[in-house]
Structure 1
Amino acid sequence: MTINCKGNLIDLTKPKVMGILNVTPDSFYDGGRFSSDTVILNQVEKMLNEGATFIDIGGQTTKPTAGLISVEDELKRVVPVVDLILKNFPETLLSIDTFYAKVAEETINGGAAIVNDVSAGNLDENMLPTIAKLQVPYIMMHMRGTPQIMQQLTQYDDLVKDVMFYFSEKINAARSLGINDLIVDPGFGFAKTLEQNFELFSKLELFQMLELPVLVGISRKSMIYKTLETIPENALNGTTALNALALSKGASILRVHDVKEAVECVKLLNKFC
């Protein structure tokens, strides 16, 4: 199971780690931390040294209490960061966390390698055609509505079956346009209650039926810190515990704030495979 990133085939039969770099002032955990070139480069170097295969750059928070920013504002946030990182670490495989087709296109043309879309094309009708034109790996996540209203849309007939059907439709749409490298993300925390997150997680192995790599992004999320009755800053141990379980259920990519601990999970799991 491989994806083509800028001419390099990345083998996902052995799980990989994607480090999160939020260049936003209002993300739920690390908002505003990476606001200068020096801090950004130090963080990227740290994540690469700790074993991250990918760095995922986000210019727009998806927490429900935040408003949407425009395409132009998101471009102003992420394009300089892409340029900065690739100037200093030219071999880095950058993922762009965006639901705007224009942001995807400009950052890929600027040297990024992957598009990570929380809406799977639902928030920009030009996204799938753009990905087809760019021919880059595309991460499609399950979400309903927009980040602002998604937590009002948590009624399902059968949660897992509904999410699987969503992906089957999205995969068919992507394949019909000639998109080759697809990755699915069940969307923990997006249009799902706390209990639904754990229901979905408990059946994570069923996503292997899609025959695509599965990305799991649960790092320091509310399903962890609310269950443990703590705050995101104290949720690393819980994140590590669930990341290990996700790997045992077939996750191909762990998207995390804390790369070292996730890489250690992968190394230990590989001893059993």
Structure 2
Amino acid sequence: MQISEAQPSQLNAILLKFSGDAVEIEKLQRLCLANHCLIQQLDQQWLGQFSLFQLAALQQNWSQYFGQPNAQLTQIWHAKQILWTGPGFKFDLTVDPIVYAIINCTPDSFYDGQPSQALGQIMTKIEADLANGAVVIEVGGKSTRPGYQEITPDEEWQRIAPVIAAVQQEWPSAVLAVDTNNADVMQRAVASGVPILNDIDGFDNAAKLEVVANHRPAVVTMYNGRHYQNDVFETLDQFYQETLASLEAAGLTRQQIALDPGVGFSHAKNTASLDLFKLNSIQPTMKYRAPIMAGISRKSFMESKFDYPMAERLTSTLLLEQLMVEQGARILRVHDVLATHKMINLFKGYQQADLLMAVRS
């Protein structure tokens, strides 16, 4: 059977064309029926529109009906895969979003900062997060909320170094990340074996890029609207192009670079409205074929736009994260690990469910 893609640019609405003899078409119809897909005949070809989840099922189950894999279908599937790789890890995010847990080692973070957080308290939180489904543990030693106070690199490192060492000793297979916008802290982190760096300033200077070039970590590069005079509509796509170019010039592959639209980071008076635009920017951003982070956990726009105080933002966080996952976001940076893990399982279950309405005659 011959298979080709009619619209290669689409991710969540993948249009495929099939051509084959009567026996092959009958097998294809049974395969599609079993996996809740619809195909229709148009002239001498058959057309089907598939979600990523349906395409995954089609590719995985093809051999059961045809005796062997289809090379063209496999090639299409590989072109759609969303991979995130770094030193010691490789995540296939195509149909498996991951929970990326936030561990604040700070006294002034907007959500869970405390004047004094003992190492034991932090380790208890990390243990619970790993048990509840966290795939990445990110530690941060400096708050970046609006109006945050700058601290020295030494102070920032002193806050997170004991946590990094303790996690590496207690859970050596855990994937660690460090949230910092300082090149010196980045250098110390990767030298300590941390495989992921997350920079709210998008690796915006030569010192940071030198660390990247020397160590080749995985990265999260964020659009920080506080640095732009023009609005997000003009500069978000420009940022993605520039940050990808600079990071790839430093030696990273596209699969090592995760993009973050930077919800909550803006100098504009209409920050909340711009944040909603960023929430809806995920699907167009998929054209860059890089993993995308959803970092909206309990952000303040939920209060300024919808009047939700901090204690009441979990439901709105989960709803908006689910909408971003539908668009293509696959890395969920969160405070509430268990609730997010359950949301992901529910979303995947819905996508894979035996829905009668998905099977049409």
How high is the TM-score relative to the length of structure 1? 0.91
Match of 1:185 among 260, 267, 270: 260
Do 1:20 and 1:256's aligned partners in 2 also have CA atoms closer than 8 Å? yes
Structure-1 separation of matches of 2:137 and 2:212: 19
Report the equivalent of 2:223: 142
Match of 2:136 among 54, 69, 74: 54
- CA distances 1:169-189 after superposition (whole Å, capped 9, x unpaired): 110111112112101000001
Do 1:71 and 1:103's aligned partners in 2 also have CA atoms closer than 8 Å? yes
Instruction: Say whether 1:172 aligns with 2:250.
Output: no
Q: Judging changes above 3 Å, is the alpha-carbon distance between structure 1 residues 259 and 222 closer, same or farther for their aligned structure 2 residues? A: same
Structure-2 separation of matches of 1:34 and 1:207: 39
Report the equivalent of 1:202: 280
Report the equivalent of 1:266: 344
What SS does the corresponding residue of 1:221 show, helix, strand or coil? coil
Report the equivalent of 2:331: 253
Do 2:280 and 2:324's aligned partners in 1 also have CA atoms closer than 8 Å? no
Report the equivalent of 2:99: 17
1:177 counterpart letter in structure 2: A
1:178 counterpart letter in structure 2: G
Identity of aligned residues (%): 28
Instruction: Say whether 1:219 aligns with 2:302.
Output: no
- CA distances 1:138-170 after superposition (whole Å, capped 9, x unpaired): 11000145xxxx5xx5642xx344201111011
Displacement of 1:108 in angstroms is 1.8
- CA distances 1:25-60 after superposition (whole Å, capped 9, x unpaired): 000110117711211111001110110100111111
2:84 counterpart letter in structure 1: I
What SS does the corresponding residue of 1:53 show, helix, strand or coil? strand
Structure-1 separation of matches of 2:84 and 2:332: 15
Displacement of 1:117 in angstroms is 0.4
When Rg is computed on C-alpha atoms for both structures, the one with the higher figure is: 2
Q: Judging changes above 3 Å, is the alpha-carbon distance between structure 1 residues 71 and 224 closer, same or farther for their aligned structure 2 residues? A: same
Higher relative contact order, structure no. (Cα contacts within 8 Å, ≥ 6 residues apart): 1
Displacement of 1:233 in angstroms is 2.1
How high is the TM-score relative to the length of structure 2? 0.70
Structure-1 separation of matches of 2:126 and 2:313: 22
Report the equivalent of 2:184: 102
2:207 counterpart letter in structure 1: N
Displacement of 1:80 in angstroms is 1.2
1:137 counterpart letter in structure 2: A
Q: Judging changes above 3 Å, is the alpha-carbon distance between structure 1 residues 18 and 33 closer, same or farther for their aligned structure 2 residues? A: farther
Structure-1 separation of matches of 2:273 and 2:84: 33
Q: How do 1:35-54 and structure 2 match up within 5 A? A: 35-54=117-136
Report the equivalent of 1:28: 110
Displacement of 1:231 in angstroms is 1.7
Do 2:282 and 2:292's aligned partners in 1 also have CA atoms closer than 8 Å? no
Do 1:5 and 1:93's aligned partners in 2 also have CA atoms closer than 8 Å? no
Q: Judging changes above 3 Å, is the alpha-carbon distance between structure 1 residues 241 and 154 closer, same or farther for their aligned structure 2 residues? A: farther
Do 2:107 and 2:114's aligned partners in 1 also have CA atoms closer than 8 Å? yes
Give the superposed CA RMSD: 1.7
What SS does the corresponding residue of 1:266 show, helix, strand or coil? helix
Structure 1 stretches lacking a partner, 5+ long: none
Report the equivalent of 1:120: 202
Alignment length (residue pairs):
264
Displacement of 1:64 in angstroms is 2.1
Do 1:23 and 1:34's aligned partners in 2 also have CA atoms closer than 8 Å? no
Displacement of 1:212 in angstroms is 0.4
- Bigger drift between 224-233 and 83-92 goes to 224-233
Structure-2 separation of matches of 1:44 and 1:38: 10
Do 1:15 and 1:253's aligned partners in 2 also have CA atoms closer than 8 Å? yes
Do 1:29 and 1:233's aligned partners in 2 also have CA atoms closer than 8 Å? no
Q: Judging changes above 3 Å, is the alpha-carbon distance between structure 1 residues 112 and 33 closer, same or farther for their aligned structure 2 residues? A: farther
Displacement of 1:228 in angstroms is 3.0
Structure-2 separation of matches of 1:203 and 1:175: 22
Do 1:132 and 1:177's aligned partners in 2 also have CA atoms closer than 8 Å? yes
Structure-1 separation of matches of 2:334 and 2:166: 21
Structure-2 separation of matches of 1:206 and 1:61: 30
